[in-house]
Structure 1
Amino acid sequence: MYVRHREITLVFIAVAALLAFYFPLALWVKVSWPGPVDVAAKIRLHGPFARFNLSGFAYVARVYQLNQLGDTAVFPDHSPVMLYEDNRVLGPAHSLHDDVANFGGGRFSHWKDFGIVFSTSDNTDPNSNGRTYWAVVAHPAAGLSSRPDTGLNHRPPSTASPPPAEPEAVQ
C-alpha cells in the first residue's frame, strides 16, 4: 500500500509541475502572437494611431515597410497584408474606408502611400484597449489569404473616399 501511495504522489507532483510550466507558457504564447507558420513579414504596429477623418471607428497605422504592397485605385485588391489583433485575424480586408469608419468590426484597408486604415474587433480605441496589432504578409507558397472574408462579396474602394496622398491629410 505504501508503494502505491508513493506512485500516486509522484504522479501528482509531475502533473503539478507540468501545469506550472504549461500555463505561463500558454499565456506567453497568447501575448506574443503565434501567427501563421510561414510568413514573409510580420510587423508590429505602434501607436499612437491617428483617427481617420475624425469620426467613426477608423484609425490609421503607417507601415512604410509594406508601402509597395498596398492597394491602389488601379489595383484595389493588391495588398496581401493580413491584420491581426493579438492573435486574431481581422477583416474583411480591402474594405471601403467609409465602411471601416461607420461599421468597424475589424474591417481594414491597406493603401499604398497611405498606410492601413483599420478598426478594432470591438470598435474600441486601439490606443487604449491594451491589444497588440500586427501587419502580416504570408509567403505565397503558404496558401494563406489576406481575405478572411472569402465567402463575402467585396466592393472596391469608392472614389468618394480615396486615401489622402500625404499623412498630414489625416485629421
Structure 2
Amino acid sequence: MSLKYALSWVAVVLALYVPAAIYSTRSFEDPSPAGKIVVILLRPYEPLGGSAYRANLLPGETALLPQQSDLIVYEEQSPLRRVSEFLRISKGGGNFAIWSDQGIVFSSPDNSDPNRNGRKYWVVVRQGEPETVADNLVNSH
C-alpha cells in the first residue's frame, strides 16, 4: 500500500469521524437527574418481599441518611414517591423510603425487578437543600 493511498484513507476517516464526534458531544444528554449531589445506587439490590428492594450502601452510609432527609430516589430521570410504610413499597408503584436502620428501600414504578430491568437508580440531594446532607454524602466517599 502506498503512502498516498494510506493518507487518503486517513483523510476519509477523519472527514467522517470529526463531524460525528462534534454532533455526539452537542447532542449528548446526561442520564443522571439534576441535583446538588447525585449518587448512583449500585446493584445488586436486596429483595425484601413483594416489589420492595434495598439499595445496599457501604457500612456507615446508612447513618448519614436520616429518615426525614431531603433526599429523593430516582429511576432514570423520574422521581419515585416518598412513603413511610413498608407495605406501600412492597406493593410497588415507584415508592421509596429512607430509614436510618434500613437504608434506602424502593420499588420500581412498573413493579419489575430493578436488578434485571436495566434502569439506573439514583439518590439525589436537590439544588438548594441543606449543606449538611450534601456534605455528609460527599465526605463519606
Taking a change above 3 Å as real, the CA distance of residues 100 and 29 of structure 1, as seen in their structure-2 partners, is same
Please list every run of 5 or more consecutive structure 2 residues that lacks an aligned counterpart in the other structure.
Answer: 1-18, 131-141
Over the matched positions of the two proteins, sequence identity in percent amounts to: 32
- What is the CA deviation profile of residues 110-139 of structure 1, one whole-angstrom value per residue up to 9, with x for unaligned ones? 011321110001110000000000001124
Q: Is the 8 A contact 2:62 2:101 kept in 1?
A: no
Match of 2:121 in 1: 133
Give the Cα–Cα distance (whole angstroms) in 1 for the partners of residues 120 and 101 of structure 2.
23
SS in 1 for 2:29: helix
Taking a change above 3 Å as real, the CA distance of residues 25 and 126 of structure 1, as seen in their structure-2 partners, is farther
Match of 1:9 in 2: none
State the number of aligned residues: 109
Please list every run of 5 or more consecutive structure 1 residues that lacks an aligned counterpart in the other structure.
Answer: 1-16, 72-77, 143-171
From the two aligned structures, give the one with the greater strand fraction. 2
State the one-letter code of the partner of 1:87.
Q
Give the Cα–Cα distance (whole angstroms) in 1 for the partners of residues 47 and 78 of structure 2.
22
Q: 1:86 aligned to 62, 68, 76, which one?
A: 76
Matched, 1:43 2:45: no
Taking a change above 3 Å as real, the CA distance of residues 113 and 47 of structure 1, as seen in their structure-2 partners, is same
SS in 1 for 2:116: coil
C-alpha displacement of 1:141: 5.0
Superposition misfits of 4+ residues, deviation over 4 angstroms: none
